């Protein structure tokens, strides 16, 4: 397995914001926790926390996220304006998709709101956590997990729903190559964030969820209907059987096969 290190990641890295400082840990409970801690301590915007192994990570809705050795778990500290926060989930999803396409040639898609799929199985998860007080964003953290060499068969709970880059390609994939490209893509998209509509439109067009009949669990409520579109704030617009349109801010989507 190739060595993952801050030096290997940052060597001649052509970014202006993301990755100006990279802090690498061979093993860590959670990159999100460390990123939030160093952000509160005044870490520079664009600082990246990355772990060779993450032992206690989590994803959306508090679910655990596996990241054994050989995979990617990282978090990026940003200081966006409040109006840009809804775009971060879109920006991160697109950065992962562009990275996978560029490095591997695979054709990933996005499942609303932020799961990245290859051949209908999850290869990456994204989490956004923000510290907002009195309409001011103190910091936001983008967390990204990518299954590079994960073997889903070793983890029965996710065996049928997860995949990995090496599994899809049938060979090794460079973690350093993936991380470097990801930081370049995040940096590029952060620089165009003031024109968030462009990011929203590409994210919308990449969503494999749209046009399908789905069931959405949002909190204690369950909705069924056709995923018609998404609003610019990221909400899913679901057309219910009675013709009404419901806007869902957050939830889990399952495709209904007729």
Domain ranges (residues) in the chain: 6-206, 213-255
- Cα 118 from Cα 136, distance rounded (Å): 37
The CATH number for 213-255, chosen from 3.90.245.10, 2.130.10.10, 2.70.240.10, 2.30.30.100, is 2.30.30.100
CATH architecture assigned to 6-206: 2-Layer Sandwich (3.30)
- Cα 145 from Cα 75, distance rounded (Å): 9
Note the pLDDT tens digit of each residue in 225-248. 999 999 999 999 999 999 999 999
Q: What is the pLDDT of residue 55?
A: 85
Q: What is the pLDDT of residue 61?
A: 45
Answer yes or no: pTM beyond 0.75: yes
- Cα 247 from Cα 51, distance rounded (Å): 37
Q: What is the pLDDT of residue 65?
A: 63
Two tokens, residue 217: 């669990």
**pLDDT confidence bin for 186, thresholds 50/70/90:** very high
Residue 199 scores a pLDDT above 70? yes
Q: What is the pLDDT of residue 121?
A: 95
Q: How far is CA 95 from CA 6, 26, 100, 150, 235, in A?
A: 20, 24, 9, 20, 20
Q: What is the pLDDT of residue 69?
A: 84
Domains 6-206 and 213-255 share a fold: no
Q: pLDDT higher for 64 or 158? A: 158
Note the pLDDT tens digit of each residue in 130-139. 999 988 999 9
Q: What is the pLDDT of residue 258?
A: 60
Residue 67 scores a pLDDT above 80? no
């Amino acid at each position: 397995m190739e060595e993952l290190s801050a030096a290997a990641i940052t060597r001649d890295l052509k970014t202006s914001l993301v990755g100006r400082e990279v802090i690498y840990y061979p093993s860590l409970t959670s990159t999100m926790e460390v990123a939030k801690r160093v952000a509160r301590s005044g870490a520079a915007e664009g600082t990246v926390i990355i772990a060779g192994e993450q032992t206690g990570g989590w994803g959306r809705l508090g679910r655990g996220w596996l990241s054994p050795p050989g995979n990617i778990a990282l978090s990026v500290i940003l200081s966006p304006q409040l109006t840009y926060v809804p775009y971060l989930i879109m920006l991160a999803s697109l950065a992962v998709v562009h990275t996978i396409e560029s490095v591997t040639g695979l054709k990933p898609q996005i499942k609303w709101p932020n799961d990245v799929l290859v051949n209908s199985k999850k290869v990456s998860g994204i989490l956004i956590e923000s510290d907002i007080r009195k309409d001011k964003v103190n910091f936001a953290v983008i967390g990204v997990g990518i299954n590079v060499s994960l073997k889903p068969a070793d983890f029965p709970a996710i065996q049928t729903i997860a995949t990995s880059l090496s599994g899809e390609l049938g060979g090794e994939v460079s973690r350093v190559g993936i991380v470097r490209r990801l930081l370049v893509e995040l940096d590029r998209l952060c620089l165009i964030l003031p024109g968030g509509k462009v990011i929203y439109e590409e994210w919308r067009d990449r969503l494999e969820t749209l046009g399908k009949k789905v069931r959405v669990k949002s909190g204690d409520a369950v909705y069924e209907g056709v995923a018609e579109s998404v609003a610019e704030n990221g909400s899913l617009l679901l057309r219910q059987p009675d013709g009404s349109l419901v806007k869902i801010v957050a939830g889990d989507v399952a495709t209904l096969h007729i």
